Structure 1
Amino acid sequence: MTSRGKFGLGLSVFGLLLVLAGCGQSGSNTGAQKTGTQTKPLKVTASQTMATADPTKATDVVSQAAIAQVYEGLYTTNKQGKVVPGIATKVVKPTNGGKTYTFTLRKNAKWSNGTAVTAQDFVYALRRQADPKTKSQEVGHIAEIKNATAINNGKLPLKDLGVKALSAHKLQITLVSKTPWFKYRLATELYPLNKKFTEKYGSNYGSSAAKTLSDGPYTLKKWTGTGDTWTYAKNNDYYGKKNVRIKTVNVQTVKDVSTAQNLFSSNSVQLTTLTGTHVQAAATGKLKKELHVTKSNRLAYLDWNSKHKTLTNTNLRLAVSYAINRESLVKNVLKDKSLAAKSAVTEGNFSNPSTGKDFNTDTGNLYPYNVKKAKAYWAKAQQQLGKKKLNIELLTSDDDVSKSVGEYIQSAIQQNLKGITVSLKTVPLNNEIATMEKGSFELASMGWTSDFKDPLDFLNKASITNAINFGRFHSAAYEKLIKIITDDKQSESARYTTMQAAAKMLAKNQGFTPLYQSTKATLISSKVAGVQPTLLRDTLYRYAYWK
């Protein structure tokens, strides 16, 4: 697997998203100016309890979002989501054919206990992640680093990892091959760790605020490891502390969207993320001026099990794809301003290097709704299969949104493709994951969130070499294109053309069937500025301030 991305089985993205809402007591703002420290707390909530503050082990989005507040890597992102220098003094240009990165670290970067952040802290953290003894579920974060996979498989020692401290403030990372998206890993996934502090707590590092050390804008406070509340407190040892305006951010878990919206309406919270019909209601109600919808780098799609001979039929898959009105799906079922999928790549993910056009605008709509074509392909499939009727089981997770979308797909297929009966099987998310991993399904829902901007991370979900290709779609011609894209030996424009060809081939063969791109709908108080979720990540509070 070439990305750290997150996959959700079932068509719901909502249970996995961080709810940027706030809850807590109001306080006086003794520093209401737009610069300098502001003492009035910003009150926010999360959609679920934080699991860990250990960046090597965090897999859920709430923990990962919290980690982004209290740690800083070599790079970070600005308010617009652009990669900018973090602990490194600049965004460097790799050498050695794009495989070697050499960084100079800020000499004034410190941990929250006052000790310096050094190159060795990055070496230690990356080796710890590669170490099979750590049992990191996110070893994919470092998959492109030289020897990382072999070390994690126990075939090489830790010292062979392609990362070196050339001096206290000089770090070198060597990759297996040129990786255009590696800068995003450095900005959103890879963080240093202080060896002495981390080893003091061992496997319990990051299990509470007291057992967590920060090098980022905020420190973690008041988190027991199991509680529903925690606090981000301004890190006075952070090199950029002058630009961190809000001193305290209080977080409380609020799982119910209606409750969070009510808290926002009463000004008890300053931010909250809405989902489903709440988005539609806010867009036309009193809160419409405070509703901000941003695109998410997440694609929901259907996965076909190629072990079933009948379901391998390309004409059947094409018939189903043409039978689904994606625009109606997002407008009448999701109702959260999600986008109908036009390709296997999300909108805003990538642009034509020559013209600047978005990948989807440039490539065209590869997944249109066309009942006439749907029926024609179904007729071809019937002839090839020697069947007039067909039963298909659609697997989804058991949350309300997933079930609603599943019912919509069921209705669309049965209404437009006479002879096909779709039965729904809904199970808890964990069970669905296990079922798909075993290949014990026919047609199933799937969601993939990518943490970097490159079409490859979506396109390779149909590669036979990818662990997330649960349906085991396999096309030699498609594999050839994926290898060319992955090897990245072409010019920018040629690689872009190859990615377009792969997207079109995927649509032609229906390796999987894209449905929609998720969005993040955030209510942001008019009293707060600097808050801006982006395609790749949620709000970084370091940029927030009271107006």
Structure 2
Amino acid sequence: MSRIQSIKRTIKSMSLSLAGIVLMVVLLSGCQSQQSDVKQAKSPVKDTLVIANDQDVPTLDPGLSNDSTSNRVIFDLFEGLVNQNQANQPIPGVAKSWKVSEDGLKYTFLLRKDAKWSNGKAVTAGDFVYAFRRNAAPKTASPQNYIFALIKNGKAVTEGKLPVEDLGIKALGEYKLEITLAHPAVYFPSVLTLPVTFPLYKPAIDQYGRSWTQPKHMISNGAYTLKEWIVGGHILEQKNPFYWDSKNVAIKYVKVLPTNTLSGYNGYRAGEIDIATPPPGIRLDALKKLFPNEVYSAPYLAIIYYWINVRKPGLDKLEVRKALSMVVNRESIAKNVIAMGQTAAYGIVPDMIQDGIYQYLYKELPSYKWVEMSMEKRIQQARKLLMEAGYSDQHPLRFQLSYNTSEFNKQIALSVMQMWKTAFGNMLRVTLANEEWKVYLNTVNSGNFDVARMGSNADINAPNQYVYQFTCHADSNAGGSCIKTIGEYYQKGLMAKTQRAYNENMAKAMKVAMENYLTIPIDNSQYTVLVKPYIGGYHPDQNYLNDVYSKWFYFKTSRSVKENN
């Protein structure tokens, strides 16, 4: 089974700054003065939205982007066939409408005739054909070219076995586009919200080569254009007068700053930044007390878990894996260690994927009845399982618990290790190991670990990438398991013609993975954003992907358009 038969997971370290933890005493000591500052804040007259983006943007090339930092800006500068609203639902973008053939294989898109490039020229079907072919070509080395495997001949094209002209996309006229899939995919419209599928202006790329993404070179079709890009400094976007929905774009300029979370937080407090992410170490309840009308917190389609390497002696036993999972108190970790609104995780996908339809799958599995038990009963049963597997005080189970370096990850690992020690005593001997992210990722991917922390966030609001990593030959299957029925259900789900069939087969695959305890889920992630009270238009309650577009926002003091949801 090829890795590019699914939406590949995007793994982020989710590592958090030790500096943020250390300085929390200083930050919280100023609570009273901060509260006073918030109450006295006035709505300024301004035309520039200032955003803290946490780090430098690696690229503004939609075909090369593979990170949320780059995408935050790319979503402003470009627009694909399909857009999304603040509930991550696909809505018309450059395509004003589309239809799907009865067999689920052909998508026909009708493009807006008023969609323009930033130089005033029309965005045509040919611009999408060029972008798809360019990004699917092996020489481009797009990190998200796996997406094209959904399209007819896409796998062979990305592997260099067929020319890009054989990719299943063609223009049926200037404003009509046809995409033929390799197999039905009910989630395909959501895939088209990813930057790798956005149109590209070929003349600019031909003329400027790699520097086409620089100011004065870039021709884009989004709500904003690129005015300045100072590496290590800032990015300045300017409202695009040729954007088809320009009348509903309220803010003239957007300034994006590459600050870490602590610097961004301080800039927010000082009134220099309008939107920022709070640093680690501040509890959500404390943050809401400091900024009662400025804190937005919502579930994020990401999950933290521990891979269990089933190739290792001892960990290859189901009884052992189940025992280890049973005694981890997820609720305690979420409430007392993380304390930013996260929730306990028992499944292999984030709870709120597809509006939570898989959230309580564990309740359908007899082997998960322990979730409702007291910790005392859990420990009794877990100890029995470990003894049945052949372990005792005299013959303890030994393994290493690994994590990528960060104080935050360390605290979670220490908590889990203490829970195991409390439950199993001398029946278990666990040591901790940590490495910097790049080294750690290589260690995990090579299978050179026992139990290892990982965090994974979704590309789209569907469980593909999470289920895929439990299939036999998935490149992301760090635990080394091979249970064929998971792959069979997964494939049936991918190729389902109806949403119902897709959901049912993905759920079946999840249940098999869960019953085999291949990972230890820890928590469902939550994201928190600080937004100044004079900014309107932001409704993140159902934005579980945390994809954000500046065109949603307006300044309440100078509101000139209707709120754009």
TM-score (normalizing by structure 2): 0.86
| 1:153 maps to 2:162 | no
Distance 1:523 1:29, change over 3 A: closer
Residues in 2 aligned to 1:86 and 1:506: alpha-carbon distance in whole angstroms? 37
1:276, distance to aligned residue in structure 2 (A): 3.3
Contact 2:299–2:526 (CA<8 Å) still a contact in 1? yes
Instruction: State the partner residue of 1:101.
Output: 107
Contact 1:273–1:523 (CA<8 Å) still a contact in 2? yes
Contact 2:309–2:450 (CA<8 Å) still a contact in 1? yes
Instruction: State the partner residue of 1:484.
Output: 492
Instruction: State the partner residue of 2:236.
Output: 231
Instruction: State the partner residue of 1:23.
Output: none
Distance 1:41 1:323, change over 3 A: same
Residues in 1 aligned to 2:416 and 2:257: alpha-carbon distance in whole angstroms? 36
Number of residue equivalences: 518
1:536 is aligned with what amino acid?
A: L
1:378, distance to aligned residue in structure 2 (A): 4.2
Contact 1:322–1:371 (CA<8 Å) still a contact in 2? no
Alignment of 1:350-369 (within 5 A): 350-351=354-355, 358-361=357-360, 364=363, 368=371
1:146, distance to aligned residue in structure 2 (A): 1.3
Instruction: State the partner residue of 1:79.
Output: 86
1:318 is aligned with what amino acid?
A: K
Deviation digits for residues 108-148 of structure 1 (CA, Å, limit 9, x no counterpart): 11111222111111111111111111111111232211111
Instruction: State the partner residue of 2:178.
Output: 172
| 1:264 maps to 2:268 | yes
2:538 is aligned with what amino acid?
A: V
Residues in 2 aligned to 1:436 and 1:520: alpha-carbon distance in whole angstroms? 26
Instruction: State the partner residue of 1:536.
Output: 545
Instruction: State the partner residue of 2:378.
Output: 373
TM-score (normalizing by structure 1): 0.89
Instruction: State the partner residue of 1:59.
Output: 66
Instruction: State the partner residue of 2:295.
Output: 291
Contact 2:320–2:389 (CA<8 Å) still a contact in 1? no
Residues in 2 aligned to 1:210 and 1:410: alpha-carbon distance in whole angstroms? 55
Alignment of 1:303-322 (within 5 A): 303-322=307-326
Contact 1:29–1:40 (CA<8 Å) still a contact in 2? no
Instruction: State the partner residue of 1:187.
Output: 193
Residues in 1 aligned to 2:545 and 2:391: alpha-carbon distance in whole angstroms? 46
Residues in 1 aligned to 2:151 and 2:391: alpha-carbon distance in whole angstroms? 50
Instruction: State the partner residue of 1:34.
Output: none
1:362, distance to aligned residue in structure 2 (A): 6.4
Deviation digits for residues 473-520 of structure 1 (CA, Å, limit 9, x no counterpart): 11123222222222215x544543333333222221012221111111
1:441, distance to aligned residue in structure 2 (A): 1.1
| 1:516 maps to 2:523 | yes
Over the aligned positions, Cα root-mean-square deviation in angstroms equals 2.4
2:141 is aligned with what amino acid?
A: K
1:528 is aligned with what amino acid?
A: I
Moved more, 382-391 or 473-482: 382-391
1:545 is aligned with what amino acid?
A: Y
1:411 is aligned with what amino acid?
A: Q
Give % identity: 28
Distance 1:305 1:413, change over 3 A: same
Moved more, 360-369 or 472-481: 360-369
1:154, distance to aligned residue in structure 2 (A): 1.2
Instruction: State the partner residue of 1:21.
Output: none
Instruction: State the partner residue of 2:438.
Output: 430
Instruction: State the partner residue of 1:412.
Output: 419
1:261 is aligned with what amino acid?
A: Y
1:455 is aligned with what amino acid?
A: P
Alignment of 1:373-522 (within 5 A): 373-385=378-390, 388-418=395-425, 419-488=427-496, 492-522=499-529
Q: Tell me the SS of whatever aligns to 1:510.
A: coil
Q: Tell me the SS of whatever aligns to 1:350.
A: helix
1:52, distance to aligned residue in structure 2 (A): 0.6
Residues in 1 aligned to 2:50 and 2:142: alpha-carbon distance in whole angstroms? 32
Deviation digits for residues 435-488 of structure 1 (CA, Å, limit 9, x no counterpart): 112111111111111122223332222112321111111112322222222221
2:188 is aligned with what amino acid?
A: F
Moved more, 518-527 or 367-376: 367-376
Contact 2:261–2:278 (CA<8 Å) still a contact in 1? no
Contact 1:184–1:451 (CA<8 Å) still a contact in 2? no
Distance 1:363 1:318, change over 3 A: closer
1:536, distance to aligned residue in structure 2 (A): 1.8
Moved more, 131-140 or 478-487: 478-487
Q: Tell me the SS of whatever aligns to 2:290.
A: coil
Residues in 2 aligned to 1:291 and 1:309: alpha-carbon distance in whole angstroms? 47
2:158 is aligned with what amino acid?
A: N
What residue ranges of structure 2 are gaps of 5+ in the alignment?
19-40, 557-565
Instruction: State the partner residue of 1:19.
Output: none
Deviation digits for residues 231-263 of structure 1 (CA, Å, limit 9, x no counterpart): 121011111110000001112122142x32232
Distance 1:230 1:284, change over 3 A: closer
Instruction: State the partner residue of 1:199.
Output: 206
Residues in 2 aligned to 1:483 and 1:13: alpha-carbon distance in whole angstroms? 36
What residue ranges of structure 1 are gaps of 5+ in the alignment?
16-25, 31-38, 352-356
Instruction: State the partner residue of 1:43.
Output: 50
Deviation digits for residues 371-427 of structure 1 (CA, Å, limit 9, x no counterpart): 533443443344334663022111111122111111111111122122212211111
Residues in 2 aligned to 1:121 and 1:499: alpha-carbon distance in whole angstroms? 35
Contact 1:76–1:188 (CA<8 Å) still a contact in 2? no
Residues in 2 aligned to 1:536 and 1:13: alpha-carbon distance in whole angstroms? 19
1:230, distance to aligned residue in structure 2 (A): 0.8
Deviation digits for residues 162-219 of structure 1 (CA, Å, limit 9, x no counterpart): 110111111111111111211111123320001111122223432x334432100011
